[in-house]
Homo-oligomer: A and B are copies of this chain.
Amino acid sequence: MSASPLTPMIHKLERRARLDDRDRKAILALPHTLRLIETGAYIVREGDRAERSCLLSSGFAYRHKIVRTGDRQILSFHMRGDLVDLQNSLLRTADHSVQALTQVEATFMPREALKELARNYPAIAEAMWIDTLLDGAIFREWIANVGRRNARTRISHLLCEFAMRLEEAGLGERTSYLLPMTQEHIADATGLTSVHVNRSLMVLETDGLIKREKRFVSIPDWRKLQKAADFQTGYLHLDLEDAA
């Protein structure tokens, strides 16, 4: 059963709500297509009529919008097990794009099948709803991050959040991991320029808050960085009630 590319979706949803065997079987029975996507390729384009949703089976992706000046704002980063565009199951047109940050294995599921699943399996519907709520919680934190924190804090915050989510997804440890994004991605996620991100990263390093080797980041003192980042984990809602 762990052979199915849908298995990560079950794991993900089980962390959102309590599922039973019937639920799990229904998920595994979803029609789906596994596709390999090259670095930089689009998974969804803003304006697309959405006919399917996508589960990230491996690799990293990010969502973004382009504003009129041509500048890009990255809205979120995603990793294995993330449902990157659940909104496409219920909203008509995509309001932003999703792009592969690395090479990606993507599992596509028809929107109608997902809607049916939600209609017939309340526990799954609840899990997906919660997943959407968590998505929203992270967006809110990003608004605060970009709106009210200085460059140093913004970047540290991003590093903390990414570390935490990597660890929670079982993809590494939060005190030492490989960053899949370039400094330009970090800039577009934090509302800064890549030049300023570069300088800020160097300051974080000389201040001893992080160590870097290429894209590899290690964090000598997690609490210290967390403090510098104003990173409170509450918004990640790691305390989900185990499907009470």
A residues with a Cβ closer than 8 A to B are: 46-47, 63, 65, 67-69, 71-73, 75, 86-87, 90-93, 95-96, 115, 118-120, 122, 125-126, 128-130, 132-137, 139-144, 146-149, 153, 190-191, 230, 234-235, 237, 239-241
Q: SS class of chain A's interface: helix, strand, loop or mixed?
A: helix
Cβ-defined partner of A90 (8 Å) among B65, B129, B149: B129
Kindly state the separation between the CA atoms of A94 and B131 in the bound complex, as whole angstroms: 16
A237 (CB) vs chain B CBs: closest residue? B91
Residues on B with beta carbons closer than 8 Å to the beta carbon of A63: 140
Cβ-defined partner of A141 (8 Å) among B65, B122, B190: B65
A164 to chain B, nearest CB (A): 14
Residues on B with beta carbons closer than 8 Å to the beta carbon of A141: 65, 95
Is the pair A92, B237 in contact by a Cβ cutoff of 8 Å? Answer: yes
Is the pair A137, B191 in contact by a Cβ cutoff of 8 Å? Answer: no
Kindly state the separation between the CA atoms of A96 and B148 in the bound complex, as whole angstroms: 15
